[in-house]
Amino acid sequence: MTGLTRDAMAKRLAQDIPDGSYVNLGIGIPELVTKCVPEGREFIYHTENGLLGMGPSPEEGEGDPELINAGKRRVTALPGAAYFHHADSFAMIRGGHLDLCVLGALQVSCGGDLANWSTGAKDAIPAVGGAMDLVAGVKSIYVITQHCTKNGEPKLVEACTFPLTGCGVVNRIYTDLAVIEVTEEGFQLIELSPEIEFEFVKERTAAPLLPLKDS
């Protein structure tokens, strides 16, 4: 069985973002969400280095080296955009003004703990950026990730073994196999990807997974 592609995962997640949301997207798969805004909805993208109303990247070689996103790639500013300094930017984040943050993950625990900034390897240069502030302050945290690592290790676990980004912060997880909510009872299956069966997801989840509720 094969699950959703990265684009399809982003498209599935975008369906759950309400119209008018202020959204911060992490680097990687989260960035694909911008290509999947459902018809009739408008999201305003925040980038923590000081821009609300971020638009797509310009053509290669175009743009301004001083108009970049948090991944330090050149972007554009849409009509109605606003620039601000870092303390204001993180006031938006920490102060609960942003509606949603979409992040990648190394591991998510069934209690909603997130590990996404470090593998804890001794020779790695530690680097955290804004991830800890985002998970501490943004109203909803959605994780978008492959269900398992390239080596087949589950990323959804009982307890994270990698260094934490935040405790009890993740609300939902969108993977190639399923949509899963973090509840007080643990991982609750919300939806299976097409042609994916419950047992298949359960085997690849290293914590109890509650089956779909009867609708």
Footprint on this chain of other proteins (rule: CB under 8 A): 47-51, 64-68, 72, 77, 83-87, 89-90, 93-94, 113, 118, 123-133, 136-137, 163-167
Q: Which residue has the tokens 């950026």?
A: 129
User: Which of 31, 39, 42, 48 does the annotation list as catalytic?
Assistant: 48
Sign of CA dihedral 63, 67, 69, 70: positive
Nearer to other proteins by Cβ, of 111 and 210: the residue is: 111
Active site (annotated) includes residue 62:
no
φ, ψ for residue 42, nearest 5 deg:
-130, 125
Kindly calculate the radius of gyration of the chain based on its CA atoms and give it in whole angstroms: 17
User: How far is the C-alpha of 99 from the C-alpha of 96, rounded, in Å?
Assistant: 7
Provide the minimum distance between the beta carbon of 23 and other proteins in the complex, in angstroms, as a whole number.
17
Cβ atoms of 82 and 53 within 8 Å: the answer is yes
Name which of 1 and 82 has its Cβ closer to other proteins. 82
117 vs 142, beta carbon nearer other proteins: 117
Minimal distance, residue 57 CB to other proteins, in Å: 13
CB of 162 to other proteins, least distance (A): 10
How far is 65 from 153, CA to CA, in rounded Å?
39
Q: Which residues are catalytic?
A: 48
